[in-house]
Amino acid sequence: ENFPLIFERSKPGRKAYSLPVLDVPDVELSTVVPDGYQRKEMAALPEISEVDLVRHYTGLSTRNHGVDSGFYPLGSCTMKYNPKRNELAARLTGFSQIHPLQPTETVQGALTLLYRLQNHLSEITGMDAVSLQPAAGAAGEWTGLMMIRAYHEARGEKRTRVIVPDSAHGTNPASAAVAGFTTITIPSNERGGVDLEALRDALGNDTAALMLTNPSTLGLFEEDIVEIADLVHRAGGLLYYDGANANAILGQTRPGDMGFDVVHLNLHKTFTTPHGGGGPGAGPVGVKRDLIPYLPVPRIVLREDNLYDLSFDAKASIGKVKGFYGNFGILVRAYAYILTMGPVGLKRVSEDAVLNANYLMKRLSEAYDVAFERICKHEFVLSGRTLKKNGVKTLDVAKRILDFGYHPPTIYFPLNVEEAMMIEPTETESKETLDAFVEVMLQIAKEAEETPEIVKNAPHQTVINRLDETQAARAPVLRYRKPTVL
C-alpha cells in the first residue's frame, strides 16, 4: 500500500491552523491591492487536522534512516553522531529569536560567539582569518576561489586555470567553473596521490590554484604535500584546501602549516552539525594573511571599545556571498561542539576516526579488494570488482546492506576506482558496531559467491524495493497534481 501524500489526506474545509483574531480594523482588499493583484485561485495547500499532520510526518520519519537509526558509513560525508546538547543550544531563545538586523548592541552574545568561532577555526586550520558566511562546502569553495581570483587580479595577473586531481569531488571543478575558471584534471599516481609529473605539466603562469582534498577522497594523505605546495607556489599559484576530509587531521596537521592559502571546512561533517537530510550545512572559509582583504563582507570585528560589530568596510572584498552572516544556527552547534571537545578531544577525534577506518579496512580486506594498500586516514575505498564474476555489482552490495539496518557506503565514487565503495566509519562508532558491520559485509561477499541472486535482488527488508530510476528521469513526475474527477 502506498504511503499517502499529504495532499491525499486533505479534505476541504478542514483546518489545523490557529491564529490570533485580527485586532485591528480589517482592510477591504480592493482598496489596498492593485487591480488584478489579488490571488484568483488559492494555492492547493493541504487541509488537514493537527493529529493527521503529525501522523503524516511521523510516519514519513519512520521511513527514513538517520545516524540515530544506525551505522551510516557513507564515505566522504562524515556521518557522525549529532549531539543532542547542540540542538538545545541552537534553540535557546536568545539565539533562535534574534533578528539579523537588530542593533549590534543588542546581539553582542551572538557576535561574541561568531568572533570566537572564527578564531577557533583559524587555529584549527592554521589560517589567519576565517569567514563564517558560506552556507555549505560548495559555497565555501566558490567563496575561496572568488578570493583567489580577486587576489590574482589585484596583482595584475591573469590566471584562469584551476587544477584538480581526478579523485576530487564534483563540486571542485563545478565551483571553479562558477568562479570563472577553467579546470585541468590531473590523474592520481599508483599510490593514490597527486602525480607530481602531471602536476608539473599542468602548472603554468595561467595557474590560479590547485584544489586539493587532503586526505583525498581515497582516504589517503598526500605524502608529497610539502613538495606540491612548493611547486604550486613557485608557479605563482595558490593552494586551496577542500576540508571535506578534515576529520582525519584535527590536531594532527593543519592546512595552513601544509602550505594551503585558502581552506573551507564542512561544519556538518567535521563539527557534528546535523546533515538535515541534505542541509543546512555551513562551509566557513579560512585564508592566509595575504588574502584577508578579499574576505566577504560583513566581517565580525572587535572594536576598540570592546564591543563586537559587523564591518562592511573592505574595499577589496569579493562582496557578499550570502544573505546576512551565514547559517548562524549551524554555527552555534559547531561552536558548542568545539567547546565540548577542547584541544584534547579534537585530537582524539582524528585518532579514533583513523583508527576505526584502518581497523575496518583491515578486516574487510579479507573479502574485498582494497583500492590502495597503505595506511588510510578516516576513510578508505574498496573495489567490488572481484564480485563481478557472478554478476554482483557494487550497487547490489549496497542494496543488500540495507537489509541489515545499515546505510551503505558511498558507491561509484571516487571515479578513478572501479566499482568503488567508499567507507567512512567516523570516530563516533564503537568497535562492536564495526565488528557487526564486518560480519554483514563478509556474509554478503559469501552470498555473492554462493547465492548471488539474494544480493542482486536486494533489498528484501525495506518498505520499498529497487525503484525505477530510468522512468523517473525519462518521464519526470516532479509534483503532485490532484486527479481530475470525471
Partner 1 sequence: MQSFSYIPNTEQDRREMLATIGVDSLDALFSDIPDAVRFKGLLNLPDAMSEYEMMNELKRLARQNVSLEDAISFLGAGAYQHVIPSVVDAMISRSEFYTAYTPYQPEISQGILQAIFEYQTLMAELTGLDVSNASLYDGATAIGEAAMMACSHTRRNRVLVSAAVNPDYRAVLDTYARGQHVETDTIAEIDGATDHTELVAKLQDDVAAVVLQYPNFFGTIEDVRAVCELAHEKKVLVIVSTNPIALGLLESPGALGADIVVAEGQPLGNSLSFGGPYLGIITVKEALLRKLPGRIAGQTVDREGRRGFVLTLQAREQHIRREKASSNICSNQALNALAASVYLSYMGPDGLYNVAKQCLAKAHYARDCFIKAGAKAVHQAAFFHEFVLDLGPRSEQILDTLKKDNIFFGVPLRSLGSRYENAVLLAVTEVHAKSAIDEVANRLEGLL
Site for partner 1 in 193-212 (CB under 8 A): none
Please answer whether residues 241 and 255 qualify as being in contact, where contact means their C-beta atoms are separated by less than 8 angstroms: yes
Which of 24, 483, 484, 485: binder of partner 1 (CB under 8 A)?
24
Show the cell assigned to 119.
578564531
Tell whether residue 16 is a contact of a second copy (CB under 8 A). no
**Closer Cβ to a second copy, 60 or 472, answer by number:** 60
**Closer Cβ to partner 1, 351 or 449, answer by number:** 351
**∠ at Cα 227 (266, 204), nearest 5°?**
90
Q: Which among 422, 410, 426 is positioned nearest to 364, based on CA atoms?
A: 422
Burial class (CB in 10 A: 0-12, 13-18, 19+), 123: middle
**Could you give phi then psi for residue 21, rounded to 5 degrees?**
-70, 140
- Rounded CA-CA distance 327/100 in Å is 11
Give whole-number Cα distances, 52 to 4, 12, 18, 43, 239, in Å. 11, 14, 15, 20, 53
Cell 607530481 belongs to residue? 196
Binding residues for partner 1 restricted to 271-300, rule: CB under 8 A: 272, 274-281, 296
Q: How many residues bind a second copy (CB under 8 A)?
A: 26
Minimum Å distance from CB 246 to partner 1? 13
Which of 14, 289, 303, 320: binder of a second copy (CB under 8 A)?
14
Binding residues for a second copy restricted to 62-91, rule: CB under 8 A: 62, 67-70, 81, 83-84
Minimum Å distance from CB 289 to a second copy? 37
Minimum Å distance from CB 365 to partner 1? 10
Minimum Å distance from CB 450 to partner 1? 23
Tell whether residue 18 is a contact of a second copy (CB under 8 A). yes
Q: What is the x/- site pattern for partner 1, positions 360-379, by CB under 8 A? A: --xx----------xx-x--
Please answer whether residues 175 and 141 qualify as being in contact, where contact means their C-beta atoms are separated by less than 8 angstroms: yes
Tell whether residue 453 is a contact of partner 1 (CB under 8 A). no
Q: What is the x/- site pattern for a second copy, positions 322-361, by CB under 8 A? A: ------------------x---------------------
Specify the DSSP class assigned to residue 3.
Answer: P
Tell whether residue 43 is a contact of partner 1 (CB under 8 A). yes
Please answer whether residues 349 and 131 qualify as being in contact, where contact means their C-beta atoms are separated by less than 8 angstroms: no
Binding residues for a second copy restricted to 405-434, rule: CB under 8 A: 428-430, 432-433
Q: Which among 358, 467, 451 is positioned nearest to 402, based on CA atoms?
A: 467
Tell whether residue 359 is a contact of partner 1 (CB under 8 A). yes
Minimum Å distance from CB 418 to a second copy? 33
Q: What's 200-223 look like in SS3? A: HHHCCCCEEEEEEECCCCCCCCCC
Q: Which amino acid is at 257?
A: D
Which of 186, 210, 332, 367: binder of partner 1 (CB under 8 A)?
332
Q: How many residues bind partner 1 (CB under 8 A)?
A: 213
Q: Which among 217, 252, 165, 223 is positioned nearest to 380, based on CA atoms?
A: 217
* Helix H or strand E encompassing 395: helix 394-402
On the question of a cis peptide bond just before residue 343, with omega within 30 degrees of 0, the verdict is: no
Angle between helices 137-154 and 171-178 (to 10 degrees): 40
Q: Which does 2 bind (CB under 5 to 8 A by kind): partner 1, a second copy, none?
A: partner 1
Maximum Cα–Cα distance for the chain, whole Å? 77
Which of 40, 158, 234, 315: binder of partner 1 (CB under 8 A)?
40
Binding residues for partner 1 restricted to 221-250, rule: CB under 8 A: 221, 223, 225-226, 249
Q: Which residues bind a second copy (CB under 8 A)?
A: 9, 11, 14, 18, 49-52, 54-55, 58-59, 62, 67-70, 81, 83-84, 340, 428-430, 432-433
